[in-house]
Structure 1
Amino acid sequence: MNAEISTPTAELTQRLSSTPRGARLARRLTAQLLAEWGHPYDSDVNATAQHVVAGLAANAVTHGRVPGRDFELRLLLFPEGTLRVEVSDARGERQLRFVTEHEQDGEQGRGLLLVSLLARTWGVAERDVGKTVWAELALK
């Protein structure tokens, strides 16, 4: 079986401050960009992408923050109808924390659980500095 390597048809890479404001901006950029790519603000696809970005960005600024370092949002649109979301932070630990049953009523900790439910697939990749948490969503 030959593995096909696909090239994105559109891409955004943006560094944002590792603050709650930066996480909100990541979500807004995603909504705007998906609308430009043909998935209106009020569509399910746009809402799902926003939730995934919000979860990954919140995780990056809450648990992946290194003082003085930004996080990076990368969105890649592939021709077969896949959106790949990548959020990179400067903290190298790859241990990602899911909310426990005891913590379910809390206000935090659901980001990765939400990502795992909404994404077709997701994972963590090492980088020279820090890590990238990525998720892929079906747009069709």
Structure 2
Amino acid sequence: MRTGELTGRRERRPTRLRRRVGHADLSAVGEMRCALREFLRHRPGRQDPDVAELLLSELLTNALIHTRNGAVVTVTSAPARLRVEVRDFLVEREPTPYVPNADDGTHGRGLLLVRSLADSWGITAQALGKVVWFELCGRTA
């Protein structure tokens, strides 16, 4: 499968979007938001694209700012669930939710947003790096 390729066109089969992002490529965050919105437009689930974009932005920005080897974004959808994974290649530490104080401006709220808005989320250690992921369940209209 080529990077960025969409697979699995059947309604019941999961579909996937996968992209590699270079470490210094912060413009890729906006590009990934657009790719995610387009991906969601063609699937049957009813996940909120605004929430999915926001949470993807938070995880991808963290990976690009705090690591030096880029990231791999994988979005997998099924009719009732959307899973977004951001894999980095930094071994030294695992992210922890930061509790910002009033003087922090906008710094440190990414994982708090993920924890608040995702139906589930977590961190999976890899042999090299980790995957930070979230899931959004389908909503009824």
Q: Please state which band the TM-score falls in when normalised by the shorter chain.
A: 0.7 to 0.9
**Does residue 11 of the first structure (1) align with residue 23 of the second (2)?**
no
Preserved contact between residue 47 and residue 138 of structure 2 (Cα < 8 Å): no
CA spacing shift, 1:110–1:104, aligned 2, 3 Å: farther
Partner of 2:78: 78
Secondary structure, counterpart of 1:85 in structure 2: strand
Report matched runs for 1:108-123 at 5 Å.
Answer: 108-123=107-122
Preserved contact between residue 63 and residue 70 of structure 2 (Cα < 8 Å): no
> How many residue pairs get matched?
127
Q: Which amino acid aligns with 1:83?
A: L
Report matched runs for 1:58-77 at 5 Å.
Answer: 58-63=61-66, 65-66=67-68, 69-77=69-77
Question: How far does the alpha carbon of each residue in 1:17-71 deviate from its partner, in whole angstroms, 9 at most, with x for none?
Answer: 22311222222211111112246xxx871111101101111111112x21xx221
CA spacing shift, 1:138–1:70, aligned 2, 3 Å: same
**Does residue 22 of the first structure (1) align with residue 28 of the second (2)?**
yes
Preserved contact between residue 118 and residue 136 of structure 2 (Cα < 8 Å): yes
Partner of 1:49: 52
CA spacing shift, 1:99–1:35, aligned 2, 3 Å: same
Task: Tell me, in whole angstroms, the C-alpha distance in 2 between the residues paired with 1:14 and 1:111.
Answer: 21
Q: Which runs of 5+ in 1 are unaligned?
A: 1-6
Shift of 1:8: 5.2
CA spacing shift, 1:76–1:130, aligned 2, 3 Å: same
Task: Tell me, in whole angstroms, the C-alpha distance in 2 between the residues paired with 1:104 and 1:77.
Answer: 38
Secondary structure, counterpart of 1:137 in structure 2: strand
Task: Tell me, in whole angstroms, the C-alpha distance in 1 between the residues paired with 2:98 and 2:63.
Answer: 16
Shift of 1:108: 2.0
Task: Tell me, in whole angstroms, the C-alpha distance in 2 between the residues paired with 1:104 and 1:83.
Answer: 34
Aligned sequence identity (%):
29
Preserved contact between residue 93 and residue 131 of structure 1 (Cα < 8 Å): no
Report the TM-score, using the length of structure 2 for normalisation.
0.79
CA spacing shift, 1:22–1:102, aligned 2, 3 Å: same
